[in-house]
Structure formats: structure tokens, C-alpha cells
Amino acid sequence: MAIDNSAVQTGGMFELRNRTTVAVAGGNGTLEIREGTILGDGTVSGNVDLGRAGGPSPSANLCAGWTVPQGKPSMGQPPSPSEFIAGVFNISGNLRMLNSNTGVSTATTAGGAYSKVVVAGSAQLTGEFAFVRHPDYKPGKGTTFTAFTAGSIANGSDFATYYMGNECWVDDLGRSRWTQRKANAVGVVEVDGDD
């Protein structure tokens, strides 16, 4: 799919299926998700902006690997098991998260495969990063997931919050079983506890 100039989404969902590529202005343009969700498994050839700079801050999300759910996916709300796929959401240019009401979401499947976001250029981060475990998947101690990568991180930015799915990532005593670490331009989720 090709978009000749820039494109602006002001609500709803934009889904990439079956490794679809959307080329924005020949790979030099910007897909602006001012409000709503872009999701799926595919590539944006160009840049992606989430949210709006200065002005109202509606929710804008990028959900890697998810399929369109019955309801709108939202940060902090895990999808139902039928909505998990192990997809890769690629951005050939830069990702800019323009306000704190934006989010990037990834998840695991029942078999342990997981979705991820790969940004070839620079990522300007804020907002929330969510990594949701499928309820039927029980990772062992030391399991790691590289769920977000970027060529570089702009100005030392970071996600404001990390959401790891609450009940999905606690042991039988209610203790947290995960840690998040970031090294260079890679976001890694590591499971600490035993099953």
C-alpha cells in the first residue's frame, strides 16, 4: 500500500495484516497516529508519530502483533487469547511518541512466541510500554524477551511507565516475577521467578 503524502489518523484502528507494507511518501513521509490504534504485523516504510505535540492528548497506541479485537485494545487491558499473534511491527524510519498518553504494546502467544517492535531509526519515547503474557504461557526463570529495539534512543528518552500485565506476571504468593532492563537501544523483559 502506498500513501503519496503524509497520512493522519484521528481515531479508530488501522490494522496491518500478513506482513503488509505501507509506504508513506516513498518511505520519506510520516504516518501520524494522533488518536486511535495502529496494530498488526507489518512494516511502515517511513516515520510514525504517536499522539499530538502540544494541545489535546487523546490516546494513541501501537500494538505489535495483535489482531483486531472485539473491542478497542487499550493500554493496561490485555487482549483475549485469540488476539495474540507473534508478529513484528517494523518502522523503517523514526518513531516519535509525542505525549504521555501514548503507548506501545507487545504480547506472548500460548506457545511462548512473542510480538515485538523494531524501529530502524531513532525512537523518541514517553508514555507506556506494555508486555502482556498469554494466560496459558508460563515462562521459566531467566527467560528473556527482546520486545522493542531501535537504531538509537532520542535524547536519552525512556517510556514513562512499564506495564507487565499484573496478574500475568506474579507468582502464587503475589510477588512480582519480572524485571525490565534497557541496554543501549533495546528493551528487554526478563522473568525472575521459577514456575
154 burial level (CB within 10 Å; 0-12, 13-18, 19+):
middle
Q: Given a cut of 70, is residue 61 above it in pLDDT?
A: yes
Angle, alpha carbons 167-171-176 (nearest 5°): 70
Tell me how far apart the alpha carbons of residues 174 and 167 are, in angstroms, rounded to a whole number: 8
For residue 47, what is its C-alpha cell?
Answer: 516515520
Tell me how far apart the alpha carbons of residues 182 and 149 are, in angstroms, rounded to a whole number: 10
What is each CA distance from 169 to 122, 174, 190, in whole angstroms?
A: 30, 9, 11
Q: According to the model, what pLDDT value does residue 156 have?
A: 80
Tell me how far apart the alpha carbons of residues 164 and 28 are, in angstroms, rounded to a whole number: 34
Identify the residue with better confidence: 53 or 46.
46
pTM attached to this predicted model: 0.82
Strands 186-191 and 178-183: antiparallel
Tell me how far apart the alpha carbons of residues 145 and 178 are, in angstroms, rounded to a whole number: 11
- Cα Rg for the chain, rounded, in angstroms? 16
Lowest mean pLDDT among 16-20, 23-27, 74-78, 115-119: 74-78
Tell me how far apart the alpha carbons of residues 36 and 127 are, in angstroms, rounded to a whole number: 14
- Indicate the length of the chain as a whole number: 195
Dump pLDDT digits (tens) for 116-170.
999 999 999 888 888 877 777 877 777 778 888 888 888 888 888 777 654 444 4
CA proximity to 122, closest of 147, 155, 99, 98:
155
State the DSSP H helix or E strand holding residue 95, giving kind and residue range, or none if neither.
strand 95-97
